[in-house]
Amino acid sequence: MKTTWYQKLILGLAGLAALVIGLMITFAPHTFYASYGLSLGESPDLLSELRAPGANLAALGVIILVGVFRAGFAPVSALIAQTLFLAYAFGRTVSVMMDGMPSDGIFQALIIELVIGGLCLALFYRRPGVTRPADSPARRCRKPRQA
């Protein structure tokens, strides 16, 4: 499977975003969350609960970036990216409905997550002239056409 420049661009954007944000949360959580106007304090329990998913986010960013350089891995990278960013957007949407509107910075993060997740989701849609390998996740999920 050959990836297009568009697919590489979107996967690169998603992977870099996840990697950089994950590394910031893991190694500089006070700085990262201060950019949202949040003060974390010094609780080891809270910092552990933030650093662990931060490391997970960074690791997923690396996996997403693999799809930029290995075309055969691009469908897996796109699936991971869309799941990651749309899950964050879903969680933030639930929070808006249950807890009220967040600060502008958090709301902007929601919009960015929706956009990146939506773009990654669009990587799975069939475009004229673009073929997918028989074992791609997009092909496995599709029902066969009736004759």
Q: How confident is the model over 86-129, as pLDDT tens digits? A: 999 999 999 999 999 999 999 999 999 999 999 999 886 655 55
- Cα distance between residue 101 and residue 36, in whole Å: 14
Q: Residue 147 above 60 pLDDT?
A: no
Minimum mean pLDDT range among 4-8, 44-48, 86-90, 109-113: 4-8
Q: What pLDDT was estimated at residue 2?
A: 83
Q: Residue 136 above 70 pLDDT?
A: no
Is 147 contained in some domain?
no
Is 133 contained in some domain?
no
Is 22 contained in some domain?
yes
Q: What pLDDT was estimated at residue 135?
A: 55
Region of residue 39 (phi > 0: left; psi between -120 and 50: alpha; otherwise: beta) = beta
DSSP summary character for residue 73: G
Instruction: Find tokens 């568009």 and name the residue.
Output: 6
Q: What is the pTM of this model?
A: 0.81
Domain that holds residue 99: 5-125
Helices and strands (H, E) in the chain, number of each type: 6, 0
- Cα distance between residue 85 and residue 75, in whole Å: 15
Is 75 contained in some domain?
yes
Grade residue 29 by pLDDT with cuts at 50, 70 and 90: very high
Q: Are 13 and 145 in contact (CB under 8 A)?
A: no
Q: Residue 56 above 80 pLDDT?
A: yes
- Cα distance between residue 70 and residue 93, in whole Å: 33
What domain count does the chain have? 1
